[in-house]
Every structure is written in C-alpha cells, then in structure tokens.
A = this chain, B = another copy of it.
C-alpha cells in the first residue's frame, strides 16, 4: 500500500477480492451544511467490526468501503447553525453519524436503537452523497454536530479514539444495569472490549473479577484494575463462585456456551452480551428460572451517554491501552486483530495517511 496523494481528502478502502486488503482511494467529501462540522482526523481506532465489514462477513458490505468508527480529530470548519462546536475543538465521532431524531429511542438519546434505522459511520446509505457513508480511515470527515462528541483535552488523544466504540460499548451496559460500589462484577474475556470493561467497572466502584480461560490474561487484567481472576477452565473454581455475581459483562466476540457463566450469577443477577452477535449455544432454561436471572444484549450507546462516558474518562483518567500504527500497517494490523494479538486496540496515526508522518 502506498499513499501518494498527500493533502487530498484521501482514504483507505476495501475492495472485495481474493486478498481483501486495504488500498488507497480518493473519495468525494460532503459539503459542510449549516449544522455540519468538518473534522481533520488525527487518530482512528481499528475495531474488529471494521474487519468483518471489510471482508463482507455479514453479507451487507457495499464497496468501496472506508472503515473506521473510532475517530478523533480537530474541527476545521462549522456550518452557520452549529452551536455545539467551534473551529479548533478536539472532537470525536463514534459509530453513528445520523438517526431519525423523532422516534422514542432517539427522543431518549438512545440513537443506537433508532427505530427508523440510525446511519452508521460507514456502510450505511448516505442521504447526502448517495452511495454509502465512509468512515474514519480517512484524512477528514463531515458530520452533523449532534453526532460529534467533545473530547476532553486532558486525556491522551491517541488513546481516546477507541473509547468511541470499545469504550461506550462497555460503559453503557455497566450504567444501564446500574453497576455500583459494593457489587461483584465479572468481565468475561479480555480484548478491546474486555479491557475497557475492567477499567470502567473498577472506576464505578465494583469489585471486578476477570473471567478468562488464560492465567496470563488474568495477570494482565489485574494490571488494568481487576481485583480478582476466575479461570473459567477451572471447574472447581467456577463451582466455588456459583451464585455470587451481581452482574456479568460478556465480551466474547463469537457464539459460545453461556451456561457456566449464568451459574455464577446471584438471584436476580444479570448478564449483558456485547460481543457475540451470532448464535449463542443452547441455554438451559433452569439456569434462568432458578434464580430469576436475565441475559440481555447491549449495543454501543447513545450520544448523550457517549459524552457522559468521555467526561467520566476525564474525571477518572481513563483511556484505552493502544498500539499505534501507520496507515501502511493496517493490513498487518487486521491480521493481528484476528489473531487476538494486540493489547488492546490498534490506533491509526492519520499523519501517515497525509504523508507527514
């Protein structure tokens, strides 16, 4: 891959083909409307969803595709009616760039559940330019101000980017299920999502247990703030902790057997699934019935809650643990994400795209 068009509004994109690598591409950028904010992108996180979309794993990708929904940058221009942001502000854009703003979910600030279908940052029909929306593996982006977040200047900007997806995806369910001091919370799986779940649950005052098959990941989780480690491969240890957890955050990214985890929950305990969108193995009804346990899912978070999360991060000095890469390294980085070989999120330095890195 080579980027030889510095200064252009250039982006990387995926073409469907045998190697499905990212390549350079110049795409049109939308005009800055009255409520729009133009952002010069400085950093963009690499989310596993980018890879699924790039490879059309879910059969819903339109090419060309510019991935990236963990975007941080500086405002370069604003429309006449913009009030929330001004030129020079440090801002972020997550998974959403529009929604109907009229349905009950939007009215509540749960734009991620927009009943008319939110516009995803990439891969959604683009009402402005036609085609599909293009994401943050790009020099710049134009977004309606409602979907632009204020990024606290006190935080390490590079490490803020993945908060816009991995961060809010774990923060939102911890808040929704009312995690609080004194509770025993388990985070299942240690990756991009899990490592943020540990940080947030600990900052919310819970006693946090990393639940993992790997003793090494347990030690890593302790360094991130987990108080305890429970090896899910140790049947005796799992049995000893049966019925003791208030809440479980399940970040495993593929279908799996949740029955052993359900048995860890107290009466009225809840598990939230944030990673596995495919088929979960059969649940034994008695694991729900005996103890009135619940299993739910949770999808990123709405705009107000995402701003709350960023402000929470500033207050508690929380960012993601990241590995910086140039755009030239993305194809290799994707392979390493697929091999779970990153602690815990790659972030692309967009200066590499612009030719000044």
Residues of A within 8 A of B (CB): 104-105, 110, 113, 115, 176, 243, 255, 267, 270, 273-299
* A172 to B, closest residue via Cβ: B292
**B285 pairs with A282, CB closer than 8 A:** no
Complex Cα–Cα for A115 and B242 (A) = 11
Contacts of A273 in B (CB 8 A): 285, 288-289
Chain B contacts of A270 at CB under 8 A?
Answer: 294
Q: In the complex, A281→B115 CA distance in Å?
A: 27
CA A276 to CA B289, docked complex, whole Å: 9
Residues B296 and A288 in contact, CB atoms below 8 Å apart: yes
Closest CB in chain B relative to A288 CB, distance in Å: 3
**Distance, CA A270 to CA B283, complexed state (A):** 16
A248 to B256, CA, bound (A): 25
- Are A294 and B291 in touch, CB under 8 angstroms? no
Tell me whether A255 and B292 are in contact (CB under 8 A). no
Name the residue on B nearest A250 (C-beta): B285
Q: Please determine whether B288 and A278 come into contact, CB atoms closer than 8 angstroms.
A: no
Say yes or no: A279 contacts B285, CB within 8 Å: yes
19 new A-B pairs (CB below 8 Å) besides A104-B267, A278-B284?
A115-B267, A255-B282, A273-B285, A273-B289, A276-B285, A277-B284, A278-B285, A279-B283, A279-B284, A280-B283, A289-B299, A290-B297, A290-B299, A291-B299, A292-B296, A293-B297, A294-B295, A294-B296, A295-B295
Flag if B299 contacts A295 (CB, 8 Å).
no
B277 touches A279 (CB 8 A): no
Known: A290-B297, A292-B299. A113 touches B285 (CB 8 A): no
Contact B295 A288 (CB under 8 A): yes
Choice from B115, B285, B292, B297 contacting A285 with Cβ under 8 Å: B297
